[in-house]
Amino acid sequence: MSRKRQVFVAGALALAFLLQLAVMPQFKLLGVQPDLLLVVAVVVAIQDGPIQGAVAGFCGGMLQDLVSPLVMGMGALTKTVTAYLAGSLKGFFVTYSILLPVILVFLAGVADPVMHQVMLIILGQEKLPPFQVNVILASAIYDVLAVLVVYPLMGRFSFPGQGDSLALLRSGGE
């Protein structure tokens, strides 16, 4: 990942954090809101690789944990693992169409809250398993709607390095 891309991803995470904190709670659909930080982390994992996605997931999750009264580090851990798995799963797909982020973000949108709730139960921080399938599915669908905007936007700012022939090829460069 080039230096420019790193700065861009940091900016994207900061913006997603701001939107998640201040804007999204005002515009809930069916009582749910998308997890923009997860969406950005998964998009980074798809576009830049699973490790880069894991780092983005860690940073995004930690930002979210800092303003949440829940156990600090838990969101960072689940987002790290989810983004890494999403980035690793990319290898099983043979398409670079928008369908790829749609499927991976939907899977991540389901896996992340389930993992988070399970860990809270293990730590004794959750007294009953509040697995509301409708909420999990609705937020995952909302995440998919968000990725339809986020994925092409982040793809435009790939800033490929000199040796990154694959990235150059994907961005249409020669």
Q: Could you tell me the end-to-end alpha-carbon distance of the chain, in angstroms, rounded to an integer?
A: 19
Q: How many CA atoms lie within 13 A of 32 on its CB side?
A: 20
What minimum distance in Å lies between the beta carbon of 79 and another protein? 9
Nearer to another protein (CB atom), residue 55 or residue 167: 55
What is the distance between the alpha carbons of residues 117 and 134, in angstroms, rounded to a whole number?
15
Choose between 87 and 160: whose C-beta lies nearer to another protein.
87
What string of DSSP letters covers 101-119?
A: HHHHHHHHHHHHHHHHHHH
Residues that bind another protein (CB under 8 A): 18, 20-27, 31-33, 35, 50-51, 54-55, 58, 64-74, 76-77, 80-81, 84, 113, 116-117, 123, 125-128, 130, 132, 135, 139
Least distance from another protein to the Cβ atom of residue 66, Å = 4
Cβ proximity to another protein, 125 vs 165, nearer residue: 125
Closest distance of CB 26 from another protein, Å = 5
Q: Residue 151 Cβ, how far from another protein at the closest point, in Å? A: 21
The Cβ of residue 120 has, within 10 Å, a number of other Cβ atoms equal to: 18
- Output phi, psi for 29, to 5 deg: -115, 130
